[in-house]
A = this chain, B = another copy of it.
């Protein structure tokens, strides 16, 4: 018999994941701070819990999908947190992107009560969550990763066990460094191309297939040219993740020249009230510096 699953956090990402778990036939219990978001799932056959401890008492595997480190600490270790309801042997899977260091500390606290933990941050956006095609970077013990596989397969496509506790979070931060510095290059290239009077569509056509190519160039540069700022991932969320990168880099004692630069450019945009736009709006910070608008004829 498959294990009972509890799901905490029915936001943009969590909602899609929880739907896919129901669809895959899991016995599901849900909890969300704003109770109204649970109704849809109750109607679809899920149980609902009064709080995280109550949810944990009814679940073998507990998945968390919340915003930031303090949110995970609250739902796991707070007054009515998972730790107060979970049975020894239960498994917590945290799919939030949070501090690798805090993840290790929480895994140790849970282990004292015989509760297992995996960090399993996801990437692929809300579409990936809806379609069950997320990439999942997993840190923790191999045995628990194997146990979690049926759950992972219901919500994701590329599942990589990358190391021990916290390693999933570290790899997610590596992912974010790559995404934003690549976007810096794209932004700088587009401002340069615009200033030089190039046809931007032909320019992209000429360079996208070669050594200059990237996922962000293929998917986000055309959006920039159309000045379509709808978010695949918002600047506000990106900043939350870059804060984690810079904090971890500081703890590790390594410089982060590119990421630090992008963080400060995004800060300019947040200050201008653009935090809700997609992370490809980074180009707007360079446009301000250059006094140029990409895509303008």
Contact = CB atoms under 8 A, between A and B. Distances in A.
A292 B210 CA distance: 31
Given A178-B212, A211-B215, 16 more contacts: A124-B210, A161-B202, A162-B199, A163-B198, A167-B196, A175-B207, A175-B212, A178-B207, A178-B217, A180-B185, A181-B185, A184-B258, A192-B249, A211-B216, A255-B289, A257-B286
Nearest to A135: B210
| Stoichiometry (number of copies) | 2
A212 B174 CA distance: 9
A259 B188 contact: yes
A210 B123 CA distance: 8
Nearest to A193: B174
A206 interface: yes
Interface of A: 100, 123-124, 135, 137, 158, 160-163, 167, 170-171, 173-182, 184-186, 188-189, 191-193, 195-199, 202-203, 205-207, 209-217, 219, 232-233, 245, 248-249, 252-259, 261, 286, 289-290, 292
B174 A252 contact: no
A160 B206 CA distance: 6
Contacts of A205: 160
Nearest to A245: B192
Contact of A199 (B163, B245, B292): B163
A126 to B, nearest CB: 13
A171 B137 contact: no
A257 B100 contact: no
A213 B211 contact: no
Contacts of A213: 214-215
